[in-house]
Amino acid sequence: MAVTLTGMLGALLPVAQGQTLYGLSFFDNELVSVNTETGAGALVGTGLGANVLGYGIAYRGAQLYTFNSLIDRIQGIDTTTGLIASTIDIGVGNLTGEGDLAFRSDGIGFLSTVFKGGLSTPTNDLYTFNIMTNSSTLIGNTGGVSIDG
């Protein structure tokens, strides 16, 4: 199992004892879990059923999501199998490099990316998105700072 993780859920909120955190391996397309009470890590699934170059992971309600920059889509991940459960087009395209995603308590998502459109100069864009309406809006850039989970 690869040690490098693209994101670890729970960085923004206090972690309840015994809660499970999830991470995506960057190169091996593996979903791993970490028990916060014991610190034990476990492989949930390999391959995710597809190639995923995930921009972090985050929960929206009871569903775990990542942004797959290989296909420019939000993807739901089944936490029992580690496989892709759903794929959602939010209308962004040609995002590359690194980034992250997060959801507000009302379900609205935020997506950051370093590069857009194959440019060699970082754009550091920040988007808001809604998976219920399959839409996104470019908010702007983060002033030269890349946001990476």
pTM for the structure as a whole:
0.81
The predicted pLDDT at position 13 comes to: 44
* pLDDT in the model for residue 9: 42
43: which DSSP letter? Answer: E
CB atoms within 10 A of CB 40: 9
Quick one: pLDDT at residue 85?
A: 93
Q: What is the pLDDT of residues 97-135, one digit of tens each?
A: 788 999 999 999 999 988 887 777 788 889 999 999 999
For 92, left (φ over 0), alpha (ψ -120 to 50), or beta? Answer: beta
- Strands (E) across 71-123 are located at 73-77, 84-88, 95-103, 109-116
What pLDDT shows up at residue 18?
Answer: 55
Going along the chain from its start, the domains and CATH numbers come out as: 5-141 (2.120.10.30)
The per-residue pLDDT string of the chain (149 residues; one tens digit each, 9 = 90 and over) reads 333 344 444 443 444 555 789 988 877 888 999 988 888 889 998 878 778 888 889 999 999 999 998 899 999 999 999 999 999 999 998 888 788 999 999 999 999 988 887 777 788 889 999 999 999 999 998 877 777 76
Cα separation, 115 vs 118, in Å, equals: 7
Question: Looking at residue 5, what is its pLDDT?
Answer: 43
